[in-house]
Structure 1
Amino acid sequence: MNDHDTLAAMPPAGDRFVRAIDRVLIHEGGDADDPRDPGGRTRWGISQRTYPTLAIGKLTRTEAIALYRRDFWTPLQGDALPPALAFQALDAAVNHGVGRTVRWLQRLAGVRIDGQLGPVTLAALRSADEASLIERLLALRLDLYAEHDRFVAFGRGWTRRIAENLRYAARDLA
């Protein structure tokens, strides 16, 4: 993948994904190689552990965005989710995985938890109170972080991220 190929695939400027990924990259931007992080080296939030054949050190922002669209936004059906929830789901998936995020969304929507984001789940999410969904999703994330064995090392950043996401939710739902 090169910048030219991914630029051709970039969405129109008004696309919800663009706004969502810009927010995610505020938290995920840059390089990191913390020995306490089992993901190994990361760039733009893309980890060597998740993409072992990718040259992480050479990954461009544009390439990372293309990966986020393909591997996170599309499986989450971000364009079909309620608007404010779409960003929150993407951010959760980036930190916790798409599968866990889908199961959380199903739990919050009160539908059968099968890990598949299908029409029943989408309809339930669209008919639910979006503010309540977001509040409960962020609470699930905080609970998971608090139980994490690396909370001492990374908990401050994780909780800061959730606080910022609460601010985004307040603006998005206004």
Structure 2
Amino acid sequence: MDNFAGCLDFTLSMEGGYSDDPADPGNWTGGIPGAGELRGTKCGISAAAYPSLNIQDLSRKQIDEIYRNDYYEPVHGDDLSSSLALVAFDAAVNAGVRHSVVWLQQSAGVVADGIFGKITLGALQGGDVGKLALEALARRLDYYARSSGWNRFGLGWSRRVLKLAKKI
């Protein structure tokens, strides 16, 4: 099953276009405000994650390729139900693949090592999709609420998680 198009549509609707907010660590090639160059983020592709790319001039084809190769495939989007693929993919884009996998593993009650293997896949495919997806979203929101960026970005993160919950 190819869940990629649906996942990409949702995530791009949340990520928007180009941003170079100097307070956002992702916009800096060094991953910290003031560290490296302020190259920004476009459609969720950040200078912190891709410091050698010209972020502002990324094409839609480049964005799609990065999303599929670096976020969708590592969370096994084609092996999951559409709801779990969406939750996993969007979390991977917004918080990193490792965090996404850990939240899925925690929701499934398996060892949360951030490595997506056969045990994780089996637990996700054999579990209640709705409960697993909502639990992963709750863990994601809890993570955000504990982060240093919560005061500045928390409302937006919360809206995003709620939209995901509604969609699934």
The two structures have a TM-score, normalised by structure 2, of 0.88
Equivalence for 1:159? 158
The residue number in structure 2 matching 1:65 is 64
SS of the aligned residue for 1:39 comes to: helix
CA root-mean-square deviation: 1.3
Tell me the CA shift for residue 27 of structure 1. 0.7
Q: 1:76·1:117 contact (CA, 8 Å) conserved in 2? A: yes
Contact preservation (8 Å) 2:106, 2:136: no
1:17-68 Cα shifts (integer Å, max 9, x gaps): 0111011000112011111100111011100010011010110122111100
| 2:11 equivalent in structure 1 | 24
**Aligned in 2, Cα 1:152/1:115: closer, same or farther, shift over 3 Å?**
closer
Structure 2 unaligned spans of 5+:
28-39
Please give the alpha-carbon distance, in whole angstroms, between the structure 1 residues aligned to 2:103 and 2:165. 17
Q: Distance in 1 between matches of 2:111 and 2:154?
A: 31
Asked if the contact 1:39–1:49 (Cα under 8 Å) also holds between the matched residues in 2, the reply is yes
1-structure distance, mates of 2:110, 2:82:
20
1:142: how far off? 1.1
Percent of residue pairs identical:
44
- Residues 93 and 101 of structure 1 are in contact (CA less than 8 Å); yes or no, is this contact kept in structure 2? yes
- Rounded Cα–Cα distance in structure 2 between residues aligned with 1:15 and 1:113: 26
Q: What amino acid is aligned across from residue 55 of structure 1 in structure 2?
A: N
Instruction: State the partner residue of 2:37.
Output: none
Preserved contact between residue 44 and residue 61 of structure 1 (Cα < 8 Å): no
Question: What is the identity, as a one-letter code, of the residue corresponding to 2:25?
Answer: P
What CA distance in whole angstroms lies between the structure 1 residues aligned with 2:2 and 2:129? Answer: 20
SS at match of 1:50: coil
Which residues of structure 1 form unaligned runs of 5+? 1-13, 170-174
Structure 1 stretches (4+) deviating beyond 3 angstroms? none
1:25-64 equivalences under 5 Å are 25-40=12-27, 41-64=40-63
CA distance in 1, matches of 2:155, 2:112: 31
Q: Distance in 2 between matches of 1:59 and 1:89?
A: 24
Partner residue in 1 for 2:34: none
What's the offset of the Cα at 1:151? Answer: 1.4
Mapped partners of 2:53, 2:137: distance in 1: 31
1: CA distance, partners of 2:12 / 2:61: 11
Match of 1:121 in 2: 120
1:82 and 2:51 correspond: no
Could you tell me how far 1:135 is from its partner in structure 2? 1.1
Q: Distance in 2 between matches of 1:135 and 1:32?
A: 29
Give, in whole Å, the separation in 2 of the partners of 1:133 and 1:77: 15
Task: Report the CA distance between 1:137 and its aligned residue.
Answer: 0.8
Question: AA paired with 1:17?
Answer: F
